[in-house]
Structure 1
Amino acid sequence: MTDTTTMLANMILIALNNQERWVSEPRFETLSIIEDIRNSNKIITKQVDEDGDVIESFDGYKNPELEDKLKLIEATFKKDEADYKRYRSEKIESMEKNLGMIKSIVKMYGAQEEE
């Protein structure tokens, strides 16, 4: 085994050991946007009772068609999010398997110099 092969194997080992720290997750803000639109579409009546407490009551939507569309978007988003989570877990599992194989081969060559 040459020193170059050992150095390459050690470098790959370092990169593979750091791999887990460099995984980023997307942030989905769709549901919070839907909730903001839904809240702005609500008709809320505020009344003060005899104790001085403010009582809010929901009286419907300014635009009922908008609420129907928001429900459809929300349901579609939840389905897409479930599909994404399933895909992500399968993809990560596959990547970890492949990285594990590479890591075991590289450990053999990287550690051979030390033996």
Structure 2
Amino acid sequence: MKDFLDRQPTKAGRRKLTYGDGTSEFVTVEMADEPTREGTPLNREAFMALQGFQETKTVFNDDGSITETNEKGETLVTVFDADGSITKTFTNVEGVSISLKTTFQEDGSIAESFV
């Protein structure tokens, strides 16, 4: 595990340019790419969530599956499959899903694949 910390600048966006001749100047850099979507910020919250550290509501469903819902309304559903494998499906707020199947091999190893 790694505890990620957010950078706390006193002058956000400020950069120092040093030229080949040794002279330098300070500039402020800002994004100007006109995105159609901002994207996920790379900050402490995002990196800690990658490690499983985020607030969720967990429900044990009648069918034996488990549903975890985070504060954004995104879900992670864990299903214990009849063949002994486990399938986890993450669905984001836009309805886009990705599933990971974990299979336990006869030799004791574990295989994971996207389904």
- Please say whether Structure 1 and Structure 2 have the same fold, judged by a TM-score greater than 0.5: no
Structure having greater relative contact order (Cα 8 Å, sep ≥ 6): 1
Q: Which has the higher strand share?
A: 2
TM (norm. structure 1) is 0.17
TM (norm. structure 2) is 0.17
Q: Which has the higher helix share?
A: 1
